[in-house]
């Protein structure tokens, strides 16, 4: 597995990079990838089937100049930006029975991350809901996936030093929420892990035995940005 620590200049390009890496693997590239990135500006990102009008305070985003974009994976709407470390895994499905189903893939990846983080930090990190990691009952990581025939994309975020009140400003209470949330507002439900990003990267690199190096497919990223991630037809389709 190659580790690519790469933040591109725009939110659109960073979202496109994840899909381009999946496309490359599916097309036969002989590499799995662990990527890290952290957006230098806040933005809202919808899940592939999320509804803008229901899941975003659009007036607040417009007033604050916050882009509202859409990713290629499922899951709910989140806010990303400085203090929120994003990671990307592109994995080949063949040869690993745990990657053959959505539920077992969630369990496989999240448990690996839980063990790595809990073992190094001593924090009571737990898997919660379907795709969350939490310290006790406070969520700090959300995750989502997209599957192709041969490969899959599994990506997510770690709240490390993120302004959680911004989430409350930009997002209403979600239409779907895990039972452990207990109707808590964003401020009472989310928490920062307060671990340096460099430490998280080191732990995940070791957990996945990933070797630093490799490049992102620049032409494919530019094409996806132009025809998809910067297009209203994609970002505003729901």
Is residue 168 predicted with pLDDT exceeding 80?
A: yes
Question: For residue 14, which of 121, 207, 157, 173 has the smallest C-alpha distance?
Answer: 157
pTM score, two decimals?
Answer: 0.95
What mean pLDDT is reported for the chain?
96
Separation CA 157–CA 159 (nearest Å): 7
For residue 66, what pLDDT is reported? 98
Residue count (the chain): 238
* Domain formed by 2-97+145-171+194-235, architecture: 2-Layer Sandwich (3.30)
Is residue 123 predicted with pLDDT exceeding 80?
A: yes
What pLDDT, in 10s, does the model give residues 35-78?
A: 999 999 999 999 999 999 999 999 999 999 999 999 999 999 99
Tokens 């996945």, located at residue: 208
The fraction of the chain above a pLDDT of 90, given in percent, is 96
For the chain, the structural domain boundaries read: 2-97+145-171+194-235
Is residue 169 predicted with pLDDT exceeding 80?
A: yes
Strands annotated E in 100-238: 125-128, 132-135, 138-147, 151-159, 211-212
Strands annotated E in 124-195: 125-128, 132-135, 138-147, 151-159
């Amino acid at each position: 597995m190659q580790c690519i620590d790469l933040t591109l200049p725009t939110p659109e390009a960073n979202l496109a990079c994840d899909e381009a890496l999946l496309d490359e693997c599916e097309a036969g590239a002989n590499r799995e990838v662990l990527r890290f990135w952290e957006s230098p500006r806040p933005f809202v990102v919808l899940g592939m089937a999320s509804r803008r009008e229901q899941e975003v305070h659009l007036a607040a985003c417009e007033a604050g100049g916050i882009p509202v974009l859409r990713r290629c994976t499922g899951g709910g709407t989140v806010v990303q930006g400085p203090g929120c470390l994003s990671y990307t895994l592109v994995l080949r499905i063949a040869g690993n029975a745990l990657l053959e189903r959505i539920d077992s893939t969630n369990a496989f990846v999240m448990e690996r991350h839980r063990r790595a983080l809990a073992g190094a930090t001593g924090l009571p990190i737990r898997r919660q809901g379907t795709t969350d990691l939490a310290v006790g009952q406070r969520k700090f990581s959300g995750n989502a996936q997209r599957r192709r025939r041969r490969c899959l994309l599994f990506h997510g975020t770690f709240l490390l030093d993120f302004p959680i009140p911004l989430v409350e400003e930009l997002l209403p209470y979600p239409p779907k929420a895990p039972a452990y949330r207990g109707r808590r507002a964003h401020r009472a439900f989310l928490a920062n892990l307060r671990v340096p990003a460099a430490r998280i990267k080191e732990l995940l690199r070791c957990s996945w035995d990933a070797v630093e190096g490799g490049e992102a497919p620049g032409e494919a990223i530019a094409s996806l940005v132009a025809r998809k991630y910067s297009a209203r037809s994609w970002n505003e389709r729901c």
